Amino acid sequence: MPALRRRLRWPGWGRVGFYLAVLVVLAVSLFPFYWIVRTSLETSAEFSAGTTSLLPAHLTFSNYTQAFTQADFARPLLNSAIIALATTAVSVFFGSLAGYAMARLRVPSGPILTFILVAGFFPVLAMVGPLFLLYRHLGFLDSIYPLIVTYLVYTLPIATWLLRNFFAQIPPDLEEAALVDGATRLRALWKVVVPVAVPGVFTAAILSFILAWNDFAFALSFLQTPSKFTAPLAIVNLGQTQNAFQVMYNRIDAAVVIVTLPIALLVLLAQRRIVSGLTAGALR
């Protein structure tokens, strides 16, 4: 691998200094996760007594079982999964159509693309009021489905941008061959262009999922019944419904760990795609 042979100038602290830096990076990134896992494995009595050691006294999973039995945390997880997956599907679908049109069909892609990207920076809290009134009027408040459309503001700009760039890189020959072979534009798109762009579609899907899974502001503004909550909202709610005297982080952190796990797994499996997606999204 040529990358391993590459010698980049690292300000002269030498090897030891470099690996020390790597260690610090790892510690800062991961140690807080250890701390919440550690906290989530404490009993409430231990937690109340305060922390005196790096390791938990003994391990208890009661906070996790409680999260599912008492707090019914499975429901918000399911809600979050439904919304995030649906948003991802819609984003990839709409994003493919728009990305293809801008990469290949003669639409004026400049202004349209600018609009789509600027929309991605629209202040979220400035959307909350009008959408609240609209959803209230339509009877959409306290339902998870309007969130799918709302979340498009997070996901659709980056998905469209990524897919447009991926489509533009596919040799036009392939599509022309399909057109000559008897395909319409749309069939060429679904049968040839999209399958060839699978890595790009994947990247767009992963980023969309992460962004949709992470929302808090919209869920906070539009959802009212705990059974409708998304996972992030449910966790925050868990803290606020507790006895205000001392917040029992051991309980909350169990839920935090549960929400973090799928995302951590996704990042470990798809690190390369995420990096390429973020950088392709930013530098071009």
Residue ranges in 220-249 that form contacts with another protein under rule CB under 8 A:
220-221, 231-233, 235-236, 239, 247, 249
- Any contact of residue 26 with another protein (CB under 8 A)? yes
Q: How far apart are CA 252 and CA 229, in angstroms?
A: 15
Beta carbons within 8 Å of 214's beta carbon, 6+ residues apart:
232
Q: How far apart are CA 239 and CA 42, in angstroms?
A: 17
The answer to whether the CB of 102 falls within 8 A of the CB of 109 is yes
For residue 264, the minimal CB distance to another protein (Å) is 5
**CB of 69 or CB of 279, closer to another protein:** 279
Please list every residue from 171 through 200 that binds another protein, using CB under 8 A: 171, 173-174, 176-187, 191-192, 195-196, 198
Dihedral sign of CA atoms 90, 223, 80, 117 in order: positive
Give the range of 55-63, 65-73, 127-135, 137-145 binding another protein by CB under 8 A: 127-135
Amino acid at the residue 36: I
* Binding mask of the shown chain, residues 57 to 86, with x at each position contacting another protein by CB under 8 A: ------------------------------
Given 69, 129, 138, 169, the residue binding another protein (CB under 8 A): 129
**CB of 74 or CB of 105, closer to another protein:** 105
Q: How far apart are CA 117 and CA 89, in angstroms?
A: 19
Choose among 187, 142, 163: nearest CA to 280: 163
Given 94, 142, 202, 226, the residue binding another protein (CB under 8 A): 94
- Any contact of residue 131 with another protein (CB under 8 A)? yes
